[in-house]
Amino acid sequence: MIKALIVGVCDCGIPSKYIPLCYNDIHAMKHALISGLSTNEENITVLGENKRVNIESFLSELENIKNETTASDTFIFYFSGHGLYDDNENYIIFSNGMYSIRELVKFIDSILCKNKIIMIDSCHSGNADIKLDSPININEYTWVNPNLKKE
């Protein structure tokens, strides 16, 4: 089963930095998950309908998803909004502050499910310094197409 958290922050608290298209992004992503991946609408959480998202509500929803996700699920995270690079760290910007992308990846990595997909549509969304706690070992996977398997 697919579970998704879609976040769009149009209003980051600075009027000159307002991004109206984040609202369109969250609806387009929700539509894509429903029509393209046959995701049940009740398994999609959308934050940003009122164009604002606070860190507290975001973290609360992440925690809820972590508690409701099983090992056989796939978790999809999508963020549309501003990003920031400051003091050698990347952040996503909320209506009342910023959250470290490194911490976000670490949290999502702790969710016990088979697949995790992270999409961040913002400036400064990442760099090579982000390390995963559970690196991928390509030799552990069964290949569907034997022509692609490394010998």
CATH of the domain at 103: 3.40.50.1460
Query: For residues 133 and 58, what is the distance between their CA atoms, to the nearest angstrom?
Result: 22
Question: Which pLDDT value is given to residue 149?
Answer: 46
Question: Which pLDDT value is given to residue 150?
Answer: 47
Query: For residues 80 and 22, what is the distance between their CA atoms, to the nearest angstrom?
Result: 5
Strands 74-80 and 2-8: parallel
pLDDT tens digit sequence for 27-85: 999 999 999 999 999 999 999 999 989 999 999 999 999 999 999 999 999 999 988 88
Query: For residues 14 and 131, what is the distance between their CA atoms, to the nearest angstrom?
Result: 31
Please state the domain count of the chain: 1
Give the confidence band of 87 by pLDDT, cuts at 50, 70, 90: confident
- Residue 67's alpha-carbon distances to 49, 54, 71, 82, in angstroms, are 23, 20, 11, 28
β-bridge partners, 3: 75
What is the residue range of 94's domain?
A: 2-148
- Global pTM reads 0.80
> Does residue 147 have a pLDDT over 70?
no
**Are 77 and 119 within 8 A, CB to CB?**
yes
For residue 17, which of 101, 87, 100, 93 has the smallest C-alpha distance? 93
Distance of CA 65 to the CA centre of its chain: 12
Mean local confidence (pLDDT), 8-32: 87
Selected residue with higher pLDDT from 123 and 37: 37
